[in-house]
Amino acid sequence: MAPGRAVLRVAAPLALGVAVACTPAWAQSRSADEAAGFAIENAATVARCSRCHRQDDDGRMSRISFLRKTPEGWQTSIRRMVALHGARLSQDEAREIARYLSNEQGLAPEELRPGLFEVERRLIDHDWDGDSGVEFTCIQCHSMGRVMTQRRTEEEWGLLLATHRALYPLVDFQAFRRAGPPPEEGERRHPMDVAIAELSEAYPLETDEWSAWAATKRPPRLAGQWALSGVEPGRGPIHGTVTVAGDASSPDEFTTTTEYVYAETGQRVRRTGDAMVYTGYQWRGRSNPGADDELREVMFVERDQQSMSGRWYRGAYDELGPDVTLRRVGAPVVTGVFPSAVQRGSTVDVRVFGGGINAASPADLDFGAGVTVISVTGPTNGALTARLRVDAAATVGARDLFAYGALLQGALVVHDGIDRIEVTPGRGMARVGGANFPKGYQVFEAHGFDDGPDGEPDTDDDLDLGRVSVEWRLEEYAAIYGDDDIDFVGTLGQDGIFVPAEDGPNPNRSGSRNNVGDVWAVATHTPPGGQALSARAHLIVTVPLYMRFDPWGPIEDPRALGASR
């Protein structure tokens, strides 16, 4: 992509002066890929990239035409070309190229859905469905989500691994050729060659899903009001509305006004932002840009364009923020009930949240047998207040709410008391910081559970009663005699948020060790007149993430590329 530089296409990958003697299968398959590839018809892409990425008679450009990726994937490629190869792009050019390639060489909804955790920045324990050896080869440096959100020809998968070997020479030892020469018997290919064969079959350039989506994708029609519901770890359920306004000059760009309330505390929030939708369904936005509470928005727009869901996040490690669902408001929409768990034999006020809801009578809200709606007031701030009487003999279990001609499944849980609590996540990780690197926080929550009709814990009929009030504390995770991690790793607030200590050697610790270690995050819930219930989670406090695989930073303005909007 840089002027005056050429792309080297090799028959066999080279790294650290070590040549592979044989011609790999991916190079042999080049003729099979000659019919594949996308013609590049965007003027900015051709003008800025063609000096390095040669364009053939069919309009295909080397490398670029033979892969498909998410907006984040294309953005990373562009930033790498700028940082490592001296490509010169204006703000508008970079944004246009990222948008064009994301739209014309993106992923179909069915292709992206299994890898949503990658673009939503979720730290999860993912188990790939494919060959475990290939998974091991890839996850030494990054998640399988990075792989699952790309599509390439077999030659391109081979060239991608060659690029890895050029940029990260230690990868041969870590994964690609970790076992040395192939054995005399059994699998004789190096792990990288096994990976190329597996990935080119699992994630080829041309698929039925992409062909079908490319034929039907269109500019999204998302302007209007949407009912918002979600859960923010550490703060509980949120409900509100998002007003989306279109841009007449750009059908895939939108502005947003978001208003919501935290159901537990009543705190109200108002946010404004903008967004771009790629490939007809991939929402990428920012709200309150530049502010301390700025949130990045990654959402998946469903095919019918009546709902979208995803994650809004912030933090140095993208660790904070809510999971959200938006439903288009036409007729009244009910999004949730708070509190969502009521005990048998009680009379309780609950709030019914939604979009476009209007005044209702007790007969308009139906929670099923054993739950009687005594009165309804409001709406106030987008919510009704309903007084419920729950029969002492009401059946324990989840109840649907029928209101405004629609059903909200599992809106309310009837229970006969909290039998136990659980802390989520069961295993957490935080990173020390504040001196040389930013802190990485960990948010814990405690949920109450009714053991259900069978009275046995951890069975299919258990009922999740939602967040419960608890007292938080840390306990030592004893790994050695005289373990003192609890004195140095950080503090756990009563909101469930663990704040790690500073990074760097600590002269007040033996051996001037870093403030890392293992502790237990312990929650204790004491119900009125009942016995205290406790649960705990393992917390690892570790070092900052010193190496990033996107180290080159943004192009002047982080909003230069549409994918980072």
Kindly report the CATH number assigned to the domain that includes residue 314.
2.40.128.120
Residue 408 sits in the same domain as residue 463 = no
Q: What is the structure's pLDDT at 556?
A: 39
Q: What is the CATH number of the domain that holds 353?
A: 2.60.40.10
Distance CA 195, CA 190 (A): 9
Q: What is the structure's pLDDT at 2?
A: 39
Q: Kindly compute the dihedral angle of the four CA atoms of residues 544, 550, 554, 555, in this order, to the nearest 10 degrees.
A: 150
Residue 344 sits in the same domain as residue 430 = no
Distance CA 80, CA 87 (A): 9
For tokens 């691994």, name the residue: 161
| Per-10-residue mean pLDDT, the chain, length 565 | 35 35 46 76 95 94 97 93 88 94 97 96 89 91 94 96 90 79 70 93 97 94 97 96 93 96 96 97 96 96 97 95 96 94 96 92 94 95 94 95 93 96 96 95 97 92 96 95 94 97 95 95 92 97 81 42 40
**Helix (H, G, I), strand (E, B), or coil: what is residue 199?**
helix
**Helix (H, G, I), strand (E, B), or coil: what is residue 96?**
helix
Q: What is the structure's pLDDT at 48?
A: 93
Distance CA 60, CA 80 (A): 21
Return all residues near 554 (Cβ < 8 A) that are at least 6 apart. Answer: 79, 560, 561, 564
Query: In 198-340, at which residue ranges do the beta strands (DSSP E only) sit?
Result: 224-232, 236-247, 250-262, 268-278, 282-287, 295-301, 307-313, 323-328, 333-338
Q: Pairing relation of β-strands 383-390 and 397-403? A: unpaired
Read off the amino acid at residue 155. E
Return all residues near 31 (Cβ < 8 A) that are at least 6 apart. Answer: none
Q: What is the structure's pLDDT at 529?
A: 81
Tell me if 132 is assigned to some domain: yes
Residue 326 sits in the same domain as residue 372 = no
Distance CA 267, CA 380 (A): 14
Domain boundary among 173, 194, 216: 216
Asked if 113 contacts 282 with a C-beta cutoff of 8 angstroms, the reply is no
Residue 211 sits in the same domain as residue 296 = no
Distance CA 438, CA 280 (A): 35
Residue 307 sits in the same domain as residue 396 = no
Of 310, 363, 356, the C-alpha closest to 335 is 356
482: left (phi > 0), else alpha (psi -120 to 50), else beta?
left
Residue 163 sits in the same domain as residue 308 = no
Tell me if 272 is assigned to some domain: yes
Asked if 440 contacts 317 with a C-beta cutoff of 8 angstroms, the reply is yes
Domain count, the chain: 4
Give the structural domain span for 86: 14-216
pTM of the predicted model as reported, rounded to 2 decimal places: 0.89
